[in-house]
Chain A
Amino acid sequence: MKEMIYQTVCPGCNIGCGLYVRENEEGTLAVDFMKSSSANLGKLCRFGMKLPYHYSKATSMVDGKEADIETAVKAASDKLKGAKNMAMLAVGATTNEEHLAFTKIADALGIVVNTGIGAYEEIPSECHSSISQGIPLDDIEKASRIALFIDPYVQYPLLVRRLLAAKKNGATIVSLACQDLNLADENVSVNPADYKTELGLDDNSMIITDVHPHTDPEQVKNLLNLALMTGAKIMFMKPFVDSTGVHLFGKTAGQMGLQEIMDGINDGSIKTLVTLNSDLLELMPNTDEAAKTLEKLDNLIVMTSRDSPVNEMANIVIATEPLYAKAGSFMNVEGQVLNNSGESTVGIDAMSTLSQNLGGEASDFQTIHNKMMESVLQKYTAPKYSELECKVMETAAPSEDGGNLVSVYNPFMWCDQTDDNDFVIVNMTMVDKLGLRKGGMISLTSDAGSVNMRYTVRDIPDGLILTMKKLPVITGNTTEVKAEAV
């Protein structure tokens, strides 16, 4: 009996939680705790505990038929040679090394690799490093006042212990999250224009927010301004295992967000899409809408280490080794480079062949890794930025017979993975208004359709309905819905 044990990093977000994956001879996986990992001390959140479900292995396919990886790479080369209206997408859900190898394919094609975060294009480039550069997680514990613009319990659970430690050290936590947080000393709702005067931040404070493919760039600008004006440190949490790495090592100019890519496919300016560990059916708020859009492509070429819904739609699937088995590294939200113990370079080798077939450079793991480490070791100071002009952020007032359905993005949602989260959150005002009954359901209807959901009651602002799961009625970050008791 021989068991393989891999030292790896949880792909649920960019905190960089270390863990072991155990794989027995039958291929059954189990997660084990890596207590020496400084990012998480071996602790894992609900998503991390369910990782074996996430690591379902992919199969290479060409035009709906199983193929070996060499055949799939050859078919991809044939499709890409001379193709026009192309786009490439890699959100940062694989290793630094694979991302850089993928970038070489983009170089050969004369295009950029999009990381899917459109906010970068809306924000002056001198601010980019302030968004992507890491801050040690230990700094949270040293802050005297922390302004939270995320829900750590749901979105980035391994922050909870850091925030509780900060409180033990005397910090005051003020939350501007969608729902009241138990760990917050103050749960407030403040207009962005009043952040500076109302939040009481100074240069011993920290602002914790996040940036992801659906982030409103105006909110990023507002918070960058808040950090600039108060001297507070700002920490942008990110949703993918190598989100920090792809922005540090990739090209930030000319980036398209996920919605722009979908718009490009819809208007015909993108006909061929190549993705790396980035499933748009999972990443877009509405799966059905995303599927309709992807059907319009001439070529969908998917490079992936897991079996996800988009593989079914792809013309070509280049299936690489599971993430935990790859040779390579990730850069977490702190800016730490975290290495996998895996030694497989199947993915990089496939990308190298594809790049060469397209007249580009070859990639070998060690060369890419060494170059990446050299650039990490270079000392770098973020350039200063000036106050940014912001538009007034307005949320549509909910209609009399409904509310605004808001997604609380979390690891399960980004992967569209099943969890015990098939309910929405409402407040008592809505319960009374709609006459919701204990144990009953709430019906939500939007332009995209209708769905009946279980609900739970928490302290959230009037007119708000929160979901931690992708729902077929969602049309954007905020969806106006008609709500009724069922």
Chain B
Amino acid sequence: MVEVGDMLVGYATDENIRSRGASGGLVTAVLAAALEKGLVENVVVMKHINEFEAVPIITDDVEEVLASTGSLHSVPVNLAKYAMGRKVAMPAKPCDAQAVIEQGKRGMIDLDNTYVVGLNCGGSMHPVTTKKMLIEMYDIDPEDVVGEDIEKGKLIFKTKNGEEKAIAIDELEEAGFGRRESCRFCTLKIPVNADLACGNWGVIGDLAGSATFCQVMNEKGAKLLGNAIDAGRIEVQPASDKAIAIRAKVNSVMEDLGNTLEKEIFPDIPDEERMQYYMEQMEDCIDCGACKEVCPVCACGDDAKCTMFHSLVDNYKMSMYHMVRLLHLSDSCIGCGQCSDVCPSDIPITLLQSRFAIPSQRRRDYKPGMNLDTPPFFEVMLK
């Protein structure tokens, strides 16, 4: 019997899934069981194309779910929008789970029908940067890479010939590689906002590398895990006190690092210079609209205020599009980095949105995408 609050260590019962999965294949097995037993109609998974490329698919095929095993630190996609309008289960980084909840608050995702299997996340990397990093820092041909992992602050790559090479993430980031900028100041590393919070932190002893630590966050999480156990897809056992303590310690180190980097990434700008700063940052915008399209918390669709009051014929120094978005997203921006990723002018939009949003969110003790208890603060203010 699985209960809310349980902290367990488990793995897939199928040896093949267990050996191919990142940490014993528990997440894959839970998702597959949800589909087989009719808990959901679809599962969102990342279909592997190669080590640096995967594409989100929505599938009702258990085999496709099982084929999606393995970690993908260099495929920085937010999956929330793929869950819309479906009875679905999905793996989720903490920011995926945040976006699902934000969309749920706005009525775009039915949270009762969306099962979110959270995955610990120390940060993700851009695939093209990662390939360059492999050549320049690791002296590895990207084509030879067969796997990757993050452990004890190091990024590890495994090659076809069975070798492993690890370099400290700090060292990589100092050299201009490593995690995406938005991941560096993120402090939500364990997805406590998901239905299950899974990861390899706290998996110790004989099970290290072949099992997943799993915290049951709510009733849906208990149902998901119980379903996988009943289906015979996974085996679990209680996590030891030592395992729980180690997991908490790793999380604490990662949070501290995020807080430290936040101060570096967001140096103070005097009040009188802020407008100028934002205008200069936005001045190379080509009006493609990709930042809105990719935003996992935007629920506006085509009739959005940001586009409604914007026209290319306008001659504003900073477009109404950006002004409206800065304001509109200040109670929902989760800093996931998708907008910066897709900006064709390399405008650091996530940093700009976060710089604008974080002070308002902190002033109201509001972190978007954590739960349904607190409505968006704009809604509260309007009421």
Contact residues of A with B, CB < 8 Å? 1, 3, 5, 7, 20, 32-38, 40-46, 48-49, 153, 157-158, 160-161, 164-165, 182-183, 420-421, 423, 454-458
On whether the beta carbons of A36 and B284 are closer than 8 Å, the reply is no
Whole-angstrom CA separation of A5 from B127 in the bound complex: 19
On whether the beta carbons of B342 and A45 are closer than 8 Å, the reply is no
Minimum C-beta distance from B345 to chain A (A): 5
Report if A457-B128 is in contact (Cβ < 8 Å); known contacts: A7-B49, A34-B53, A157-B288.
no
- Kindly list chain B residues whose C-beta atoms are within 8 Å of the C-beta of A32: 55-56
Report if A20-B55 is in contact (Cβ < 8 Å); known contacts: A35-B126, A36-B127.
yes
B376 at the interface (CB under 8 A from A): no
On whether the beta carbons of B284 and A183 are closer than 8 Å, the reply is yes
Whole-angstrom CA separation of A447 from B361 in the bound complex: 60
Query: B266-318: which residues lie under 8 A (CB-CB) from chain A?
Result: 283-284, 286-290, 293-294, 311-315
Name the residue of chain A whose CB is nearest to the CB of B280.
A182
Report if A420-B58 is in contact (Cβ < 8 Å); known contacts: A35-B127, A158-B344, A165-B346.
no
Whole-angstrom CA separation of A457 from B56 in the bound complex: 44
Q: Top 10 A-B pairs ranked by shortest CB distance?
A: A36-B53, A36-B127, A43-B344, A423-B313, A161-B346, A46-B288, A157-B286, A456-B313, A420-B312, A160-B345
On whether the beta carbons of B344 and A161 are closer than 8 Å, the reply is yes
Minimum C-beta distance from B344 to chain A (A): 4
Interface string of B35-54 (1 = CB under 8 A from A): 00000001000010110110
On whether the beta carbons of B315 and A456 are closer than 8 Å, the reply is yes
Q: Which of A42, A46, A454 contacts B313 (CB 8 A)?
A: A454
- Kindly list chain A residues whose C-beta atoms are within 8 Å of the C-beta of B288: 44-46, 48-49, 157
Q: How many residues of B contact A (CB 8 A)?
A: 38
26 contacts between A and B (CB under 8 A): A3-B58, A5-B55, A20-B55, A35-B341, A36-B49, A36-B50, A36-B52, A37-B128, A38-B128, A38-B131, A43-B343, A44-B288, A44-B290, A46-B286, A46-B289, A49-B290, A153-B286, A157-B286, A157-B345, A161-B345, A420-B287, A421-B312, A423-B312, A423-B313, A454-B313, A456-B315
On whether the beta carbons of A45 and B49 are closer than 8 Å, the reply is no
Given A33-B290, A182-B283, 8 new contacts (CB under 8 A): A3-B57, A20-B55, A36-B53, A46-B287, A48-B288, A161-B346, A421-B312, A454-B313
- Kindly list chain A residues whose C-beta atoms are within 8 Å of the C-beta of B50: 36
Whole-angstrom CA separation of A458 from B57 in the bound complex: 45
Whole-angstrom CA separation of A351 from B53 in the bound complex: 34
Whole-angstrom CA separation of A69 from B75 in the bound complex: 41
On whether the beta carbons of B284 and A45 are closer than 8 Å, the reply is no
Interface string of B329-368 (1 = CB under 8 A from A): 0000000000001111110000000000000000000000
- Kindly list chain A residues whose C-beta atoms are within 8 Å of the C-beta of B286: 45-46, 153, 157, 160
On whether the beta carbons of A43 and B342 are closer than 8 Å, the reply is yes
Minimum C-beta distance from B78 to chain A (A): 11
- Kindly list chain B residues whose C-beta atoms are within 8 Å of the C-beta of A45: 286, 288, 344
- Kindly list chain B residues whose C-beta atoms are within 8 Å of the C-beta of A43: 290, 341-344
- Kindly list chain A residues whose C-beta atoms are within 8 Å of the C-beta of B52: 36
Whole-angstrom CA separation of A11 from B55 in the bound complex: 21
Minimum C-beta distance from B88 to chain A (A): 11
Q: Which of B58, B311, B314 contacts A1 (CB 8 A)?
A: B58
On whether the beta carbons of B345 and A36 are closer than 8 Å, the reply is no
- Kindly list chain A residues whose C-beta atoms are within 8 Å of the C-beta of B25: none
Name the residue of chain B whose CB is nearest to the CB of A38.
B128
On whether the beta carbons of A420 and B311 are closer than 8 Å, the reply is yes
Name the residue of chain A whose CB is nearest to the CB of B127.
A36
Name the residue of chain B whose CB is nearest to the CB of A341.
B49
B199 at the interface (CB under 8 A from A): no
Minimum C-beta distance from B338 to chain A (A): 9
Name the residue of chain B whose CB is nearest to the CB of A453.
B313
B76 at the interface (CB under 8 A from A): yes
- Kindly list chain A residues whose C-beta atoms are within 8 Å of the C-beta of B60: 1
- Kindly list chain B residues whose C-beta atoms are within 8 Å of the C-beta of A454: 313
Whole-angstrom CA separation of A421 from B286 in the bound complex: 13
- Kindly list chain B residues whose C-beta atoms are within 8 Å of the C-beta of A20: 55
Whole-angstrom CA separation of A276 from B76 in the bound complex: 38
Whole-angstrom CA separation of A165 from B344 in the bound complex: 12
Minimum C-beta distance from B119 to chain A (A): 19
- Kindly list chain B residues whose C-beta atoms are within 8 Å of the C-beta of A420: 287, 311-313
Minimum C-beta distance from A322 to chain B (A): 18
